[in-house]
Structure 1
Amino acid sequence: MSPSRFSTDVYARRLQAAATATAQAGLAGLVITPGYDLRYLVGSRAQTFERLTALVLPAEGDPAIVVPRLELASLKESAITELGVAVRDWVDGDDPYRLVAAALGGGVNKTAVTDSMPALHLLPLADVLGAVPVLATDVLRRLRMIKDAAEIDALRKAGEAIDRVHQRVPEFLVPGRTEADVAADIAEAIVAEGHSEVAFIIVGSGPHGADPHHECSDRELRAGDIVVVDIGGAYEPGYHSDSTRTYSIGEPDLQVAHRYSVLQRAQRAAVEAVRPGVTAAQVDAAARDVLAAEGLADAFVHRTGHGIGLSVHEEPYIVAGNDLPLEEGMAFSIEPGIYFPGRWGARIEDIVIVTADGALPVNNRPHELMVV
C-alpha cells in the first residue's frame, strides 16, 4: 500500500457505500471529478485540467473512470487498479462526456456531480445528458462526515504531530522577532514533526490577535503581547491537523487572565457537551452561554467549530442554527475565541472525535495561557 493512501479494502467499502446511498437517493449515478470526493472514494490525487477526468459510479453496475490517455500514469497512486474499476481512456478529438453517459447506463437524467466540478465540464456534460445534474453533496455528505477507523487513526496521528509543534512554539516567541519569523520556524517544525505539507499558519500578536483570520506580518513581538498561534498541516494520507493555543510574552494583567479563564471554561463546556444525539447548535451554545454569562458574548464573533478530514473545513459545522444530531465518528474542531479589536485576542482549539459516550480530543497540549 502506498503511504499516501489507505488499503484497497477501505476504498472498496467506500465505493459500495456511495453506490448504496446513490440508489437510496433515487439517482442513476454519481460523476466525481478530481477533488476531495475523488480522493475519499479511490485515493486519487489527480488534478482538474481542461481535459475531463471523472469517476462514474452508477447506482447499479460497475464503476468506471474516464481519463485522458496522457493522464493514465496519474492513476497509479490511487486504488483504481486494485479496485478493478474499468478505465475508459480517451484522446484529443474524442468526446469524454459521451463516455460518461455510456458508463452511467440508463436514467442519465438523474445524475449527481461532485460540488467541485468545474463549469468547464459541467455544462458540456449537461448537454450530453439532456439535463442539468444535481449536486452529490447530499449523497456523500454523511459518508465523509462519519470517519472510519482508518480516518480516525490518521486524525489522531495528525493531532499528535501538531501538539509536538505547539510544544516547540514558546522557543520561537522572542521579543524583537517578527510574526513572519515565528511563522517560518513553525512551518519548518510542522514538516519536521511528520506532516507532508503546511496548510496554514496564524501568528497574531498583540492587536493582530483580535483578527481571527490574521496570518502573519512584519510586526515585531513585544513584552506583554498576547499571541494567538493557530496552525495545521496535512498528515499522510492527507488528513489534517488544526490546533490553536494562546501565549503571553510575560505575565498577563489581571483582566486578560480573568477573561482567558472564562474562555477556558467555555471551551471545556463545549467539549463536555459533545455526545451522540446532541445537535451541533447545542455544542455551539454550550461555549457561547459561558461567555455570555460573563459579558463576553459580543467578543465571540465566529462559530464554535468545523468538521475536518481531507479538507481543513468540511461538515459538520458547529454553529447556531445547525440542528444536525452528532453521530459517533464525526470529527470537528471546538474553538471558541474572544477578540478585542485594537488590543488583543485569544482562542483555544482542539479537534475532537465523537465517541459512543462523549468526545475524544486528538489534541492534548495544556489549555492554560502559556507564559513565555
Structure 2
Amino acid sequence: MTMESVEEQPIVAARLPDVPFDAARLDGLLDDAGLDAVLVTSKHNIQYMLGGYRYFFYANMDAHGLSRYLPCLVYVKGRSREATYIASPMEDHERELGKFWVDSTHFNNMTSRQTAATAVSTLRHCAPRARRIGIETSFLPVDAYEVLRDGLPGVSLESATLPLELLRAVKTQAELTKLEDASTKVVEAMLAVIGQHGKGATKANIAEALRYEETVRGVTFDYCLITMGQSFNRAPSGQAWREGEVLSLDSGGNIGGYIGDLCRMAILGEPDAELEDLLAEINAIQMAARGPVLAGARGGDVFAAPEAMLARSPHRERLDFVAHGMGIVSHEAPWLTGRSAVPYEAYHANRPLEAGMVLSIETTLLHPRRGFIKLEDTVAVTETGWTAFGDAGRGWNSVGG
C-alpha cells in the first residue's frame, strides 16, 4: 500500500465520562443559596461528586505528619465540566486508572494549607468574579480556612452544607440498589450470627462474629451496638448470654459507602406472652410510620401516627421513636423532625417527600425488667408508596437453649 492510497481518517475527540451527579440540580441549589461556587472538602461529598471514589490510602485516617489529607473539588456554578479536583500526589496513580471524570486535576498537595492555596489559585483563574464561595464549614480545617480567607480578599466564604446535603437527598437507582444490598446483607449476617450462638456466648463474641459475617458478604463493617438481658449497655463486652434473655443487634455496614443500618431482636429460648406483646407494639409503631410514606406526602406525617401511639402506650415514658434520612451519611436528608438526638431543623416536615428518598425508621423500648427492645427498618419512598430493604427477621429470632 502506497502513502497516496491511505485515506485520511477523521479525528474523533475522546468522550469525557458523564458527570456522576445532577449538575443542574446542584446549580439550582447554589443559585437558591446565592453561591457562585463551592469547595467540597468532606470525604462523603467528594465520594458522591466523584461517582463513588474514595482514595483507599486515607480510607481509615486523615492525619499525616503535622497536617492531614484534604481533598477538594472546586465547582463553579453552571460550569460542571470545568470542575477541578485537588488532592494528594499519590492519587495521580488513580488518574492513570481512569477514576476521575473531571478533566482538571492537581496532585501536588500533601497538607491542608497546600490544598487551600491550590483552591485559591484555581478560583482566581476560573472564577475571578465570584464573590460568594460555599465551603463545608464542618469539614474544613482552620488553617485551610485562613489560607482561603487571606488569598481571596473581597470574597465571602459561606456555608454550603445545606445545598450539598439536598443534592444527595434523592437517590438514583444505582444508589438505591446499593442501599438495598447493604440492608439485606446486614440482616442476613445478623440472622446467621444468631443461629450460630447460644448460652455462654459473650457480647464480644457475637459482635466479632457479626463483623465476619458482614465482611464475607461484601459489606464493609462499620459498627455493632449490642445488648443482652436487662442491661442497656450497647458496647461489646464479656457479658454472657443466659437462658431466657433477650439480645438486640443494631449494626451498620456499607456497600460502596451506602449504609445498611438495621436492628433485630433474638432470645435464648422462647419468647413469653409479655415479650411477644412488647415486640408487637414496637412493630405496630414501625408499620404505622410506613403508612403515610409516599412521593408527594408531607414529610412530618411520618411521625403523626407513631407519636399518637406512643402517647397512648403504658410504656410511653420508656418508648422512643425516630425516622431519619439514610444514604452515605446517617441522618442525611430528608430531615423530618427537630426532636432527634442528632440535632437539626425539621426542614422536610412541611415539604413533600420525593421518590428516591430513603428513611431509617426506629422504635426503642427500654424496659426495666426485660431489657432493650428495638426494631430499626429501612424504607425507600416510591411514587406509589414505599419499599422496604432488608425486611427479614423482624420478629423474635429464637435460637434455643
Report the residue type matching 1:87 in the other structure. T
Match for residue 258 of structure 1?
A: 277
Match for residue 36 of structure 1?
A: 44
1:288/1:172 CA distance change after superposition, 3 Å: farther
Deviations 1:138-182 (A, max 9, x none): 212222111011101111111221232133132233111101101
**TM-score normalised to structure 1 length:** 0.86
Of residues 209, 223, 231 in structure 1, which corresponds to 2:243? 223
1:187/1:107 CA distance change after superposition, 3 Å: same
Is it true that 1:27 corresponds to 2:35 in the alignment? yes
1:67/1:168 CA distance change after superposition, 3 Å: closer
Report the residue type matching 1:276 in the other structure. A
Secondary structure of the structure 2 residue equivalent to 1:286: helix
CA RMSD of aligned residues (A): 2.6
Give unmatched runs, 5+ long, in structure 1: 1-6
Is it true that 1:319 corresponds to 2:321 in the alignment? no
Is it true that 1:155 corresponds to 2:179 in the alignment? yes
Deviates more, 1:336-345 or 1:150-159: 336-345
Residues 214-363 of structure 1 aligned to structure 2 (within 5 Å): 214-235=234-255, 237-301=256-320, 303-319=321-337, 322=346, 323=349, 324-341=351-368, 343-363=370-390
Secondary structure of the structure 1 residue equivalent to 2:30: helix
Of residues 118, 125, 134 in structure 1, which corresponds to 2:141? 118
Identity level (%) = 23
Secondary structure of the structure 1 residue equivalent to 2:35: coil
Is it true that 1:53 corresponds to 2:62 in the alignment? no
1:297/1:280 CA distance change after superposition, 3 Å: farther
- Larger fraction in helix: 1
Deviates more, 1:247-256 or 1:27-36: 247-256
Q: Is the 8 A contact 2:86 2:109 kept in 1?
A: no
The alignment of Structure 1 onto Structure 2 pairs a total of residues equal to 357
Distance, in Å, in 2 between the alignment partners of 1:136 and 1:341 is 44
Report the residue type matching 2:151 in the other structure. V
Report the residue type matching 2:300 in the other structure. A
Per the TM alignment, residue 270 of structure 1 is displaced from its structure 2 partner at its CA by: 0.8
Q: Is the 8 A contact 2:191 2:393 kept in 1?
A: no
Distance, in Å, in 1 between the alignment partners of 2:201 and 2:69 is 47
Q: Is the 8 A contact 1:307 1:313 kept in 2?
A: yes
Distance, in Å, in 2 between the alignment partners of 1:128 and 1:342 is 61
Distance, in Å, in 1 between the alignment partners of 2:289 and 2:222 is 25
Q: Is the 8 A contact 2:300 2:337 kept in 1?
A: yes
Per the TM alignment, residue 355 of structure 1 is displaced from its structure 2 partner at its CA by: 0.3
Per the TM alignment, residue 307 of structure 1 is displaced from its structure 2 partner at its CA by: 1.7
Distance, in Å, in 1 between the alignment partners of 2:140 and 2:96 is 22
**TM-score normalised to structure 2 length:** 0.81
Give unmatched runs, 5+ long, in structure 2: 1-15, 340-345
Residues 7-18 of structure 1 aligned to structure 2 (within 5 Å): 8-9=17-18, 11=20, 13-18=21-26
Match for residue 3 of structure 1?
A: none
Distance, in Å, in 1 between the alignment partners of 2:109 and 2:270 is 66
Distance, in Å, in 1 between the alignment partners of 2:88 and 2:77 is 24
Deviations 1:198-247 (A, max 9, x none): 01112211123x35xx2321111111111111112111x22111111111
Distance, in Å, in 1 between the alignment partners of 2:375 and 2:69 is 44
Report the residue type matching 1:274 in the other structure. V
Report the residue type matching 2:264 in the other structure. R
Deviations 1:20-49 (A, max 9, x none): 432343211010124101110013314555
Q: Is the 8 A contact 2:165 2:332 kept in 1?
A: no
Q: Which has the larger radius of gyration?
A: 2
